[in-house]
Structure 1
Amino acid sequence: MPKPLQVIVVGGSLGGLFAAIVMKRLGHTVRIFERNPTPLLHNQGAGVVAGGDTQAFFNNFDATKRPIAVTSKLRQYLDREGRQIHEEGLAQKMTSWDLLYYLLRANFDGVKSGYCKVPEPIEGEGKGIYEYGHLVKDVREAGDKVEVEYEGREGNIEKTLADLVIGADGPSSTLRKILLPDVQRKYAGYVAWRGTVPEQEASLAAQKAFVETFTFYHAPRTQILSYVIPGENGALEPGKRLINWVWYCNYPEDSSEFKELMTDCEGKHHHITLPIGKMRKEILQGQREYAKKVLPPQFADIVCGTKQPFIQAITDVISPKNSFFGGKLLLIGDALAGFRPHTAASTSQAAFDAQKLYEMMSGQISLRQWEEETMEYARYMQRSGVNMGQRSQFGNHPLAQMQDMARS
């Protein structure tokens, strides 16, 4: 392929940045089209398990060389009274969405932040441009190129040509809807309440249960988990970190409770995510009271201590293919397959796909091999997530505490 290729990456979150950095390092000109109207994406304060593929990507492509993770030294399960009932000596790395995002932006387009120093340009790398407020409207094959039609920041409709288009625009991918309109993202019947508490503000009992420990509690139709993640500006020092929690609760799709849950303080209904700061006071207070009734005291402490949690509806989606127009348009990460969070593999999938993209574009593997390996990863992890979620929320988890839960 000639250099530099003109590459458009649709989606400017972690997955898009992974792919964009790979292509930039190979010497190509890369434009990210991000639909968000602001230059920086909003941080929801979400924790991320830094799996092997994520760690490998940062080892190979992060020129800041900044440490990214807190180590969780063991996994444990609590009973309703907060006592440990099971322990596994399994160490894992935990990080945060915001730390990864700002490190990637520093590498891609030199965004300055308190998270890291912007690295010096690397010899031979291409140009990276982050185009916010760009909403893709259509794509079509145009000879040996792809034509992208989009709405710009001023509301004008424009067209541009690219040698390669990479779709990394999340589980509700616009590109996937254009190419495969019959592939639908479907609600799985439960949501994840998510939030963080500063480590130093948690009770001593909560700190003992969660600091550097991956901790779970299971009961019929619910589970909650917690681990420590980097704090402000990616701080890794003890006392400056955050305790991150995720609480899965069932809400039938056609229930009034689910509709009320996803309606914000301004009366707007949200289909997938209820953002930070948008929750109605009565909903938050009701969940805090529920937490005190049904959760171990350490978990109830951090749920009630979270000032502004957010809600993510759990969904399923997977594309039957990830290559279009003879390999000139590719889907990666969540745009290819949206995993349930139980897998802790969403970020890892994007990192894996991007590293395989590097191998393909540098001639180490073929397009067909890239398609096969990334599709195999997507199918396996998507299926695993469904199985884990169904067992936990609708079946019988082996470590679930058998008690009567007040909600469906």
Structure 2
Amino acid sequence: MISDSPQPYRGSRALVIGGSIGGLTTALLLRDIGFEVDVYERTATPLHGRGSGIVLQPDTLRWFEERSTVDTSALKTSTSRVQYLDRANTVIAEEDRRWEYTSWGTFYQALLGDFGTEHYHLGASATGFDDDDGGSVTVHFADGRSETAELVVFADGINSRARARFDADAEPGYSGYVGWRGTVPLTALSPVTRALMGDAITYSVVPDSHITLYPIPGEEGVDAEDQLMNYVWYRNVPAGPELTELLTGVDGHVGAVSLPPGQVQERFLTELRASAAALLAPAAAEVVLATAQPYLQVVLDVRSDRMARGRTALLGDAACSARPHAAAGTAKAAADAWALRDALLTTDGDIEEALARWEPAQLELSRALLDRVTEMGDRSQFHNTWIPGDPSLRFGLYGPGVLHPESRQPQPAA
């Protein structure tokens, strides 16, 4: 591990609530500047991402590029172009643009490998916190224990239990559509489909919907024979009984924000496959039809109007969970973490002042991202104005195709 960062916080303790990618990135960066860090994850078993894909933007990858000895080539795949297919598998729009990808599990395991497991606590469900008079914060857990630290960061996801202490009105809102997800080994696809989509991020746009597909690392590695074709297909479902039925698993339980592989009722899988064959580009349909166990996620939006409160911070999806059309969720969490590190290094040990300096820019980044992806989703799902090749629809945390904050420029109207 590279260890030449300034460490002004030696002797101070930090707690990170939430042990996913954003939480681990935060924990690594806080430890890097001297904090003793413990991570608390409410899930009792090791986390997994069901093989789902992540588009790698610079903020996401930055820990490994700057502060780790991990070989990033072992974490990612890449493609050289973006393409849109029609119902005849004809490329109707194309752009030379390189993107890199990883799988959730691959990236999480690499972060956890750097952090280690000694201070990573599973089955630790935080229920609340108190600001102490002595310049610390005490977090309370469901099992009765309490932990005290000089800094507490809540990175506990879209269902954050702490968010109401920052903004009581910030509740997740349903977008009107869900994302069907799945992966298929590239080796299981036809040679024609592999040749067409193996070096591209591919879109198939249909009325009130679209699907995005790209290759990601498999469990065995990043070589072509190990890769998986990952996809998310956005489909409208009215709120109410229809959504509840869809989210009712084969075990009878209703998923709040997702339904995992193996739990989707067969009647919905039958309809999904029939619709794929009837609507999508044949190559995209082949991937959906070849998926053994598709699963789904409810597309939700939420944004807190506060991210800092004394010595506590709200970060990543806990502060702002935005629709995935800009492929910026993990990048936003990492950007929050890096900005927090930088603020802590500029305030001579004053944690409250650091959080106060950190908050405004991160709130603005959240607002701009959520506004943009809401417009993108509405264009696809409700207005049918998602035009193949439109540059305003590019990925990017800081704007369409904008991957670095210093490169951000005003974008033309869609």
TM-score normalised by the chain length of structure 1: 0.88
Deviates more, 1:173-182 or 1:271-280: 173-182
What is the rounded CA distance, in whole Å, between the counterparts of 1:42 and 1:276 in structure 2? Answer: 12
Aligned to 1:183: 170
Opposite residue 181 of structure 2, the aligned amino acid is R
CA shift digits 1:63-104 (9 cap, x unpaired) = 323322211100011112221100111111111111110000
Opposite residue 373 of structure 1, the aligned amino acid is A
Aligned match of 2:231 in 245, 250, 253?
245
What is the rounded CA distance, in whole Å, between the counterparts of 1:2 and 1:231 in structure 2? Answer: 39
Aligned match of 1:71 in 75, 78, 85?
78
Over the residues paired in the alignment, what is the CA RMSD in angstroms?
1.6
What is the rounded CA distance, in whole Å, between the counterparts of 2:98 and 2:337 in structure 1? Answer: 25
What is the rounded CA distance, in whole Å, between the counterparts of 1:329 and 1:368 in structure 2? Answer: 10
Aligned to 2:139: 148
What is the rounded CA distance, in whole Å, between the counterparts of 2:9 and 2:202 in structure 1? Answer: 50
- How much identity, in percent, do the aligned residues show? 33
Aligned match of 1:307 in 284, 292, 298?
292
Aligned match of 1:163 in 125, 146, 150?
150
1:97 aligns with 2:104: yes
What is the rounded CA distance, in whole Å, between the counterparts of 2:182 and 2:196 in structure 1? Answer: 17
Classify 1:314/1:377 alpha carbon distance in 2 versus 1 (closer, same or farther; 3 Å). Answer: same
Deviates more, 1:67-76 or 1:357-366: 357-366
**SS across alignment from 2:97:** coil
Classify 1:84/1:2 alpha carbon distance in 2 versus 1 (closer, same or farther; 3 Å). Answer: closer
Q: 1:312-327, aligned counterparts within 5 Å?
A: 312-325=297-310
Aligned to 2:22: 15
Opposite residue 316 of structure 1, the aligned amino acid is D
Aligned to 1:371: 359
What is the rounded CA distance, in whole Å, between the counterparts of 1:189 and 1:398 in structure 2? Answer: 17
What is the rounded CA distance, in whole Å, between the counterparts of 1:295 and 1:66 in structure 2? Answer: 34
Aligned match of 1:81 in 83, 88, 107?
88
Task: Report the CA distance between 1:173 and its aligned residue.
Answer: 0.9
CA shift digits 1:121-142 (9 cap, x unpaired) = xxxxxxx601111111111211
Aligned to 1:117: none
Task: Report the CA distance between 1:364 and its aligned residue.
Answer: 7.3
What is the rounded CA distance, in whole Å, between the counterparts of 1:2 and 1:197 in structure 2? Answer: 46
Unaligned runs of 5+ in 2: 1-7, 349-353, 389-414
What is the rounded CA distance, in whole Å, between the counterparts of 1:308 and 1:130 in structure 2? Answer: 31
Aligned to 2:313: 330
1:129 aligns with 2:122: no
**SS across alignment from 1:30:** strand
Task: Report the CA distance between 1:209 and its aligned residue.
Answer: 2.5
Aligned to 2:201: 214
Deviates more, 1:273-282 or 1:223-232: 273-282
Aligned match of 2:65 in 59, 65, 70?
59
Task: Report the CA distance between 1:398 and its aligned residue.
Answer: 4.5
Task: Report the CA distance between 1:243 and its aligned residue.
Answer: 0.4
Task: Report the CA distance between 1:289 and its aligned residue.
Answer: 1.3
Aligned to 1:392: 380
What is the rounded CA distance, in whole Å, between the counterparts of 1:294 and 1:283 in structure 2? Answer: 16
Q: 1:248-327, aligned counterparts within 5 Å?
A: 248-254=234-240, 256-325=241-310
What is the rounded CA distance, in whole Å, between the counterparts of 1:351 and 1:56 in structure 2? Answer: 8
Aligned match of 1:193 in 155, 180, 187?
180
TM-score normalised by the chain length of structure 2: 0.87
Q: Any runs of at least 4 consecutive aligned residues in structure 1 with deviations exceeding 6 A, and if so which?
A: none
Task: Report the CA distance between 1:342 and its aligned residue.
Answer: 0.3
Task: Report the CA distance between 1:302 and its aligned residue.
Answer: 0.5
Kept in 2: contact 1:148–1:159 (CA 8 A): yes
1:383 aligns with 2:368: no
What is the rounded CA distance, in whole Å, between the counterparts of 1:5 and 1:190 in structure 2? Answer: 44
Task: Report the CA distance between 1:396 and its aligned residue.
Answer: 2.1
1:359 aligns with 2:342: yes
Aligned match of 1:339 in 305, 322, 325?
322
Opposite residue 249 of structure 2, the aligned amino acid is D
CA shift digits 1:197-226 (9 cap, x unpaired) = 001111122212221201101122110010
**SS across alignment from 2:224:** coil
Kept in 1: contact 2:166–2:304 (CA 8 A): no
Count of aligned positions: 374
1:43 aligns with 2:49: yes
Kept in 1: contact 2:193–2:283 (CA 8 A): yes
Task: Report the CA distance between 1:2 and its aligned residue.
Answer: 5.0
Kept in 2: contact 1:70–1:212 (CA 8 A): no
